[in-house]
Amino acid sequence: MLFTLMRLRIDNVVFSYGSSMILKDVCLDAAPGEILGILGPNGSGKTTLLRCINRILTPKQGRVALDGADIRDMSRTELSRRVGYVPQHHTSEACTPTVYEVVLMGRRPHVTWEFGEEDREIAWQAMEEMDIKGLSSHRFDQLSSGQAQRVLMARAIAQEVKMLLLDEPTSNLDVKYQIDVMSTILDQVRTKDIGACAVVHDLDLAMRFCDKVVLLHDGKVLAAGSKGDVLTPDNIRMAYGVDSVIDRLHGRERVLII
């Protein structure tokens, strides 16, 4: 499939639940070929921001645009062809399908009537990339949390979108699969020249795999830019209230909490 480059732009987004302000004039930019890490302590608005980008939630003000086009003017199918969303929790997923059926649903925005052979091949390839082909006949509701997370990642890959929205894609995964999943995201972004916005809690994973990061605090952008410019001891202390050092070990910079 030939991918057209697509840029995400968020301008002055504000969102609140009643009188509780969650996002306050948030601006960010995500480009093709890059992973943008969305960082911040619990309650800083990370998941809410992803849901605004995917139109699950509607901002009170501001604009979310894909290549200059406001997502409010897009049909749900058109948006699904461009943006894939992997939620943090999967309890809302239907509990009866098999793993293969869940992954194949990623092709739904691309079909008008029924799945074809190409759709099935793409689904199998996505499962292979996420190392879950051996689970293809398992029921989705019988998976562990880590397995379910990889299935939802495979579904997003099969969707063949231009922008991936990933809410804590390494949650519930052991160390090996954390690295595998982030490496797969990086490979997708680089080889297909798509973009990815990933909520990441592990600052060292963000330093290792993200190209740019935005650091949220109390619903506002505390800092945004290259990971080296944003992930500094001062910024980490302001956002998380902990001390840290940036050290170079084994050929790369690492974030160490002290």
Alpha-carbon span 166 to 153, nearest angstrom: 8
Length of the chain: 258
| DSSP structure class, residue 32 | T
CB burial class (10 A; 0-12, 13-18, 19+) of residue 68?
Answer: exposed
| DSSP structure class, residue 245 | E
DSSP assignments along 50-113, one per residue: HHHHTTSS--SEEEEEETTEEGGGS-HHHHHHHEEEE-S--TTS-SSSBHHHHHHGGGGGG-SS
- Max intra-chain CA distance, the chain: 56
Alpha-carbon span 65 to 179, nearest angstrom: 31
Helix, strand, or coil (residue 240): helix
If one looks up domain 8-257 in CATH, what number appears?
A: 3.40.50.300
Predicted pLDDT of residue 91: 53
**Who's near 223: CB < 8 A, 6+ residues apart?**
214, 215, 229, 230, 235
- What are the CB-based long-range contacts (under 8 Å, 24+) for 103-108? 103/127, 103/132, 103/151, 103/154, 103/155, 103/158, 104/158, 105/155, 106/154, 106/155, 106/156, 106/157, 106/158, 106/159, 106/160, 107/158, 107/159, 108/80
Predicted pLDDT of residue 89: 61
Q: Where are the domains of the chain?
A: 8-257
Alpha-carbon span 133 to 126, nearest angstrom: 9
CA dihedral 108, 47, 65, 152 (to 10 degrees): -20
Query: Is-contact 182 169, C-beta < 8 A?
Result: yes
pTM > 0.85: yes or no: yes
Query: Is-contact 151 135, C-beta < 8 A?
Result: yes
pLDDT tens over the chain, length 258 residues: 344 557 899 999 999 988 899 999 999 999 999 999 999 999 999 999 999 999 999 999 999 999 889 999 999 999 998 999 998 765 545 457 899 999 999 998 888 778 999 999 999 999 998 889 999 999 988 888 888 888 988 999 999 889 999 999 988 788 988 998 899 899 989 998 999 999 999 999 999 999 999 999 999 999 999 999 999 999 999 999 999 999 987 888 999 999
